[in-house]
Structure 1
Amino acid sequence: MLRRLLASTAAVIFLITAGWVTAGNHSPASGSADGHGAPGHARAGHTAHDHTFSPAQAAAIIAQAAAPLRGSEFRAECFSSHRRGDDPIVFPGEAGRSHIHEFYGNRTANASSTLQSLAAGTTNCSPSVDLSSYWTPTLYKNGAPVAPERVTVYYQGITDHTRAVAHPRGLRYVVGNATATSPDQNPAARWSCVGRPESGRDFVNCPPGTKLENYLDFPTCWDGRNLDSTNHRDHMAYAAGQTCPASHPVVVPRLELLITWPVNGGGLTLAGTRNGNNVTDQPGYTFHGDFFNAWNDSELKRRVADCIVAGYICGTDGHPIQQ
């Protein structure tokens, strides 16, 4: 309950204090539903990490962050598994091509990961039936990499939860803007300090006795066809209120990563890409994340039915702990 109160308060402060309107629009949706790499990734280069949110989508992301949670949720508790310069979504098969990422969950995740390889792997998440891989840029404190203390992956029914369906196996997508040049270009992530309501799109200077955390919000609408798309985003969309757009009519649970690091104060940077080069000194407003779904299909469907659709808060075992 405390997490819900703080997250809601932080989102309201975030709405008031952060500008959000950005220029540009999404490119037309395209991709493949065969479970393999999306077309165009080899041509995209580092620009595949770039993304400009349309004003409508930016507004939807901010509204979603401020929306009350509806008692419809299950979760996975994960830890950092490993760190490497790979990105199996943006640069499949190209080991070392990406900036440094922190991988959570599936221990086998690397540049060559497929649904089949992830399904054959192991995880440090609870529950163990979640073999998915989640990854974000590595955090640095005064130039030294810092592993998160914990990563909670919330699956939440915030969009028309009675119509929600499980994410299809092999679904993968990217959120955030890794090449943002200002805070208003990345509304999907917000930084805060554990136990405090203030938040912002860039790093916050957490006082002694607190810890740094980040909320990263994923979209809740799927086009119903593609497991990926050329820019790894266009097959997904953020809902406007409780309504998914006609182009993305399938409701899925909202993923929210709550990542906590055992650090406070300043000297913080992120791994990222600048001018086509991989660096480790990017600002906080370039935070982003990736999801590659490799859940046990029947268990994911059960949790969506028993927790999301039924309107219960469930623990990592997928059973209600609170109505």
Structure 2
Amino acid sequence: MKRRFRFGNAAISLSVVAVVSVVVALSLVWTAGGRHDVGSAADVGPFPKDFVDIRDVPRSAPPAAGPDASTGTFTEDCGRNEDLHRNSDNLVQSPGLHNGAHHTHDYVGNLSTTAFSTDAQLAAARTTCHDGDRSTYYWPVLRRQDRPTSPMAGGGGHHGNIGEILLPSSVTVEYLGNRASDVVAMPRFLRFITGDPAAATAGTALAHAQWGCAGFPDRVTTQYPRCPDGRVVRTLDFPSCWNGLDTDSEDHRGHIAFPRADGACPPGTFPVPQLRLVIAYRVPEGAPIALDAFPEQKHAPITDHAAFVNVMTGKQMAEVVACLNDGRHCKVT
């Protein structure tokens, strides 16, 4: 039988008081973000199996280009988000929905991007890219879980994303050609995603996470790397075979695909410049790092993903295409 105490006209159950006390205590612990407390990495991930010493990763070589390949590269300087443009929106996957990502994104390029951005607003906005490219590039932030939790941009709570947000030490925005043929221009406002934020529970069919360390260019893993000099690198390759018709699709993937193993595009698609984002961080060896993610994904590194909206002008895109098809290595700073 529950014991009750009467305060005036209110009967308060000791069991209710206990439950309330536990909820308050858990809320305080969660906010504190301590690594060994309830709600910390011990419960929300990642776990030891998610990490690997980069020296234990086998070497690999990139596939060779064919005789008709577009072998050029086009690299632009869009900063490393020194402006701290962050929010928990996802314009590509959840347009019109504030806090649709439930985790924080880092941005470079277009400085106006939110879930409610229109094409016209993107085309008129300021950009961090030194060449005037107003495209939107974004990805989930990386955190150190042994440090106090940074405020979640855009609100909506932490959802298990605890720790200090790390500012990248560098971000490289690069466009590559196709290993089998020339590329054609992307249409303006083409948008799509790479990787799968639900890969830990849904399987890896759509996952394209690539982790590594500076100084080990021939070693790539789907786990968080332990780097001897602390220079962690994320590489996010985007699909580059467009259907020639649509700037978006219901799943934000159906209108664009990855090339086949031989580098050629699947039937009914055309090769466009392949976007690659290379994001580097300085992380002391052994520091607990975690990608922002949905709670059920437990911060698995395989869930790495990114999104893109092309806002280049026709002239800017033509310069990229010419550079790639001519085999030149262009760098705009």
Identity of aligned residues (%): 32
Question: Cα distance 1:126–1:161, how it changes in 2: closer, same or farther (>3 A)?
Answer: farther
Q: Computing the radius of gyration over CA atoms, which structure comes out larger, 1 or 2?
A: 2
How far apart are residue 187 of structure 1 and its match? 4.6
How far apart are residue 126 of structure 1 and its match? 2.5
Aligned partner of 2:199 among 180, 201, 208: 180
1:44-83 superposed matches below 5 A: 66-68=62-64, 71-78=71-78, 79-80=80-81, 81=83, 82-83=85-86
How far apart are residue 67 of structure 1 and its match? 2.3
- Alpha-carbon deviations, 1:199-235, whole Å to 9, x = none? 211110112x331111111112000001001110111
Residue 314 of structure 1 pairs with residue 330 of structure 2 = yes
Cα separation, 1, equivalents of 2:142 and 2:181: 34
Aligned to 1:126: 130
Residue 137 of structure 1 pairs with residue 147 of structure 2 = no
Aligned to 2:240: 220
Q: TM-score, normalised by structure 2?
A: 0.69
How far apart are residue 237 of structure 1 and its match? 0.9
Q: 1:217·1:257 contact (CA, 8 Å) conserved in 2?
A: yes
How far apart are residue 71 of structure 1 and its match? 3.8
Aligned to 1:165: 184
Aligned to 2:109: 105
Structure 1 segments, 4+ long, off by >2 Å, are: 12-15, 65-71, 158-162, 182-187
Q: 1:74·1:315 contact (CA, 8 Å) conserved in 2?
A: yes
Cα separation, 1, equivalents of 2:205 and 2:259: 19
Aligned to 2:317: 300
Q: 2:210·2:236 contact (CA, 8 Å) conserved in 1?
A: yes
Number of aligned positions between the proteins: 250
1:272 alignment partner, SS class: coil
How far apart are residue 184 of structure 1 and its match? 4.8
Aligned letter for 1:140?
R
How far apart are residue 185 of structure 1 and its match? 4.9
Of the structure 1 ranges 295-304 and 215-224, higher mean CA displacement relative to structure 2 is found in 295-304
How far apart are residue 77 of structure 1 and its match? 1.9
Cα separation, 2, equivalents of 1:253 and 1:123: 21
Aligned partner of 2:88 among 85, 88, 100: 85
Cα separation, 2, equivalents of 1:269 and 1:139: 6
Aligned letter for 2:92?
I
Aligned partner of 1:150 among 162, 166, 170: 170
Stretches of structure 1 lacking an aligned partner (at least 5 in a row): 1-9, 16-64, 318-323
Aligned to 1:55: none
Taking only aligned residues, the RMSD between alpha carbons, in angstroms, comes to: 2.4
Of the structure 1 ranges 180-189 and 165-174, higher mean CA displacement relative to structure 2 is found in 180-189
Aligned to 2:280: 260
Q: TM-score, normalised by structure 1?
A: 0.71
Q: 1:75·1:152 contact (CA, 8 Å) conserved in 2?
A: yes
Cα separation, 2, equivalents of 1:273 and 1:187: 15
Question: Cα distance 1:93–1:184, how it changes in 2: closer, same or farther (>3 A)?
Answer: closer
Question: Cα distance 1:226–1:14, how it changes in 2: closer, same or farther (>3 A)?
Answer: farther
Question: Cα distance 1:264–1:297, how it changes in 2: closer, same or farther (>3 A)?
Answer: farther
Cα separation, 2, equivalents of 1:229 and 1:255: 19
